[in-house]
Amino acid sequence: MQVGGLTPGFRHEVRSGDIESVRCIVSATGFFTEEEIAVAMELVETALSDQASSPYRFLFAETEPEGVVGYTCFGRIPCTASSFDLYWIAVTPACQGRGIGKALMGATEEVIRGMGGERIYIETASRALYRPTRLFYERCGYVPEAMLADFYSRGDGKIIYVKRL
């Protein structure tokens, strides 16, 4: 499938080089703090240490010759029958606006559907910086379900989106 002049391939397995790829992608977006970047890398490390039992699943978008240009991290929400969290979706800035994120989201939804998922939840910030992110989720069919005011900090609430598959 060609997207915005690129033909991404998708893979599920986590490789050691993905730790650095994830760091580069999330750092380059300019959206995340050092603490958040460390968390993103930690999730990859957790999955890498034992992919069979890790609660974190990944889907990586790769192109030639760029390599990893985007990824998602997701997992079943404990104590639910069929609900999943999408923890991360990020695309390198050079590939944003070219359909990679939408293709990655669609492929991730198919994986989750195949795992018995019926709902996907996404949490994001209410700050103006995240407006393009929220609009992206809405274009992908997610609807805001809840808002927790001042969750991250004063004036920065958490918006929870959901999509029923």
| Residue 105: predicted pLDDT | 96
Whole-number pLDDT of residue 41: 96
- Report residues of the chain scoring pLDDT below 50: 2
pLDDT of residue 129: 92
Ordered domains of the chain (ranges, CATH): 1-117 (3.40.630.30), 121-165 (no CATH)
Would the pTM of this model clear 0.85, i.e. be above it? yes
Q: What is the pLDDT of residue 5?
A: 57
Give the pLDDT of residue 4. 54
| Tokens read off for 116 | 């018995």
pLDDT value of residue 98: 86
Q: How far apart are CA 92 and CA 22, in angstroms?
A: 9
Cα–Cα distances (Å) from 162 to 9, 34, 131, 137, in that order, read: 26, 27, 17, 9
Q: How far is CA 29 from the centre of its chain?
A: 13
